[in-house]
């Protein structure tokens, strides 16, 4: 065969192959897009062998899903409750799309509770609810009580709140708690919740928050100041026992205490003290008469300190600590660190402290710095023993 004839033959063969390939691709494309896209089911992403057996109609934000159907290749836009979210086109076939539930999608009354996929050849929808349980980001008080106002929580998914229940805080990680009280929801918006805890005998509580999606179990512990043994709250507190009636007074070495409205952790007042640089100092509370008798049913010491300009340590002691009041107890739990410029909140088991080592009656109780190296002004509030 001549070279020119060979060239024509090879050229014709290539043309036929290309045409055939084109027809094959066109045929495949037509077959893949031969019908409108349909979503048949949704599954949590799992192994291929298992996810088809776990059909779901709702999931929490962040969960990876497999959206399964027919003709759902070529997805251009994906929506949850009308919110457009991103996805990786590499994980899109004619039968499946792997996608994450977006945290930003609305879950309030405006939500249509649908997944919508817009493809190059049509749109498919599927009824699907984002399970958006209440999420707590912050709160305005830890210690509550009849004269302390309501607790304001900030977070997400509050618009459809059903209930808030306060449970007695467990005394151990394994204790099963049933003691509870239903709280009053004063107001709610999607991101703000105001709750009133009814007058009750529960000393330490945690909250369960329930909306239409389910229940979130709070881990933060809140303290009922109304049933605590108080040392200082908005002022020096009263003492009443067999010795008679009286009250705590402020006491210091070298540096005077002042009750002030400048700062408060709870209520409206705290006591302020300025610690001079490089001087021995101690500050706290004294009641020579009536004396203070500790009751062992109070399991925790709780208090708050707003730090000065620098972080520094303080040591807790009492007149019945091993080395007496104003000492530096060797027990590591008697030493606390105070972070600068913020309120530091402490709740320490009394059993872990060297406070009543020599007896349960004390006449002095307080904190001592080592130094400090620089002058520091700090505020102390809500000093209490709680059950």
Find the CATH number of the domain harbouring 363. Answer: 2.60.120.260
Q: How far apart are CA 257 and CA 282, in angstroms?
A: 11
- Residue-wise pLDDT for 166-192, tens only, equals 999 998 888 999 999 999 999 999 899
Same domain, 238 and 257: yes
Does residue 121 belong to any structural domain of this protein?
yes
Contact present, 223 and 207 (Cβ < 8 Å) = no
Q: How far, in Å, are 47, 81, 218 from residue 42 at the CA level?
A: 14, 15, 30
Same domain, 113 and 143: no
Does residue 279 belong to any structural domain of this protein?
yes
**H or E segment to which residue 214 belongs:** strand 214-217
Same domain, 233 and 367: yes
Q: How far apart are CA 359 and CA 260, in angstroms?
A: 33
Same domain, 219 and 239: no
Domain final position from 115, 130, 145? 130
Same domain, 140 and 99: no
Question: What's this model's pTM, rounded to 2 decimal places?
Answer: 0.79
Torsion of CA 74, 77, 82, 88, to 10 degrees: 90
Q: Which of 185, 196, 187 is nearest to 148 (CA)?
A: 196
Does residue 31 belong to any structural domain of this protein?
no
Does residue 20 belong to any structural domain of this protein?
no
Q: Which of 102, 112, 113 is nearest to 63 (CA)?
A: 102
Same domain, 324 and 356: yes
The number of distinct structural domains making up the chain is 3
Q: Which of 267, 342, 346, 341 is nearest to 304 (CA)?
A: 346
Please tell me the predicted confidence (pLDDT) of residue 282.
92
| Residue where the block lists tokens 């990680």 | 173
Contact present, 381 and 233 (Cβ < 8 Å) = yes
Q: In what order do the strands lie in the sheet with 83-85?
A: 83-85, 75-80, 114-119, 122-127
Torsion of CA 372, 376, 382, 383, to 10 degrees: 20
Does residue 14 belong to any structural domain of this protein?
no
Torsion of CA 251, 265, 237, 241, to 10 degrees: -110
| DSSP summary character for residue 148 | S
Q: How far apart are CA 312 and CA 369, in angstroms?
A: 8
Same domain, 339 and 259: yes
Instruction: Classify 7 as helix, strand or coil.
Output: helix
The parent domain of residue 89 ranges over: 38-130
pLDDT in 10s for each residue of the chain, 387 residues: 444 443 444 344 334 333 333 333 333 443 445 689 999 999 998 755 554 557 889 999 999 999 999 999 999 999 999 999 999 999 999 999 999 999 889 887 788 999 999 999 999 999 999 999 999 999 999 999 988 999 999 998 998 899 999 999 998 888 999 999 999 999 999 899 999 999 888 999 999 999 988 999 999 999 999 999 999 999 999 999 999 999 999 999 878 899 999 999 998 999 999 998 877 889 999 999 999 999 999 999 999 999 999 999 999 999 999 999 999 999 999 999 999 999 999 999 999 999 999 999 999 999 999 877 889 999 999 999 999
Does residue 19 belong to any structural domain of this protein?
no
Does residue 6 belong to any structural domain of this protein?
no
Please tell me the predicted confidence (pLDDT) of residue 22.
38
Q: How far apart are CA 201 and CA 204, in angstroms?
A: 9
CATH number at residue 150: 2.60.40.10
Same domain, 112 and 156: no
Q: How far apart are CA 80 and CA 126, in angstroms?
A: 10
Q: How far, in Å, are 153, 245, 252 from residue 288 at the CA level?
A: 42, 12, 14
Same domain, 381 and 296: yes
Please tell me the predicted confidence (pLDDT) of residue 107.
85
Same domain, 290 and 331: yes
Domain final position from 200, 224, 248? 224
Q: Which of 317, 239, 242, 240 is nearest to 284 (CA)?
A: 317
Query: What count of other Cβ atoms lies within 10 Å of the Cβ of residue 338?
Result: 21
Same domain, 380 and 237: yes
Domain final position from 99, 130, 161? 130
Same domain, 79 and 145: no
Does residue 13 belong to any structural domain of this protein?
no
């Amino acid at each position: 065969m001549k070279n020119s004839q060979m060239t024509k033959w090879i050229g014709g063969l290539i043309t036929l192959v290309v045409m055939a390939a084109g027809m094959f691709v066109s045929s495949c494309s037509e077959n893949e897009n031969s019908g409108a896209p349909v979503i048949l089911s949704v599954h949590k992403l799992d192994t291929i062998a298992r996810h088809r057996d776990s059909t779901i109609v709702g999931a929490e934000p962040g969960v990876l899903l497999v959206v399964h159907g027919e003709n759902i290749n070529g997805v251009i836009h994906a929506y949850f409750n009308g919110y457009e979210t991103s996805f990786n086109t590499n994980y899109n076939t004619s039968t499946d799309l792997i996608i994450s539930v977006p945290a930003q999608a609305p879950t309030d009354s405006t939500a249509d509770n649908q997944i919508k996929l817009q493809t190059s050849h049509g749109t498919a929808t599927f009824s699907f609810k984002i399970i958006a349980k209440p999420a707590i980001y912050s709160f305005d008080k830890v210690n509550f009580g009849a004269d302390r106002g309501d607790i304001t929580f900030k977070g997400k998914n509050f618009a459809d709140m059903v209930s808030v229940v306060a449970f007695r805080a467990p005394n151990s990680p394994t204790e099963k708690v049933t003691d509870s009280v239903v709280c009053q929801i004063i107001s709610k918006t999607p991101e703000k919740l105001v709750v009133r805890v009814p007058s009750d005998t529960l000393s330490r509580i945690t909250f369960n928050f329930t909306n239409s999606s389910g229940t979130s179990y709070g881990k933060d512990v809140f303290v009922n100041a109304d049933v605590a043994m108080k040392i200082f709250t908005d002022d020096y507190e009263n003492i009443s026992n067999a010795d008679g009636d009286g009250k705590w007074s402020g006491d210091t070495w070298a540096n005077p205490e002042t009750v002030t409205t400048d700062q408060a952790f709870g209520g409206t007042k705290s006591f302020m003290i300025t610690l001079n640089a490089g001087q021995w100092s101690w500050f706290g509370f004294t009641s020579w008469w009536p004396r203070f008798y500790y009751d062992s049913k109070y399991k925790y010491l709780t208090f708050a300190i707003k730090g000065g300009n620098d972080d520094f340590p303080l040591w807790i002691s009492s007149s019945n600590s091993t080395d007496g009041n104003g000492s530096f107890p060797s027990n590591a739990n008697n030493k606390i660190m105070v972070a600068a410029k913020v309120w530091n909140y402490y709740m320490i088991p009394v059993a872990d402290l060297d406070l009543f080592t020599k007896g349960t009656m004390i006449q002095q109780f307080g904190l001592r710095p080592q130094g400090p190296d620089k002058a520091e002004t700090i505020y102390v509030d809500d000093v209490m023993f709680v059950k």
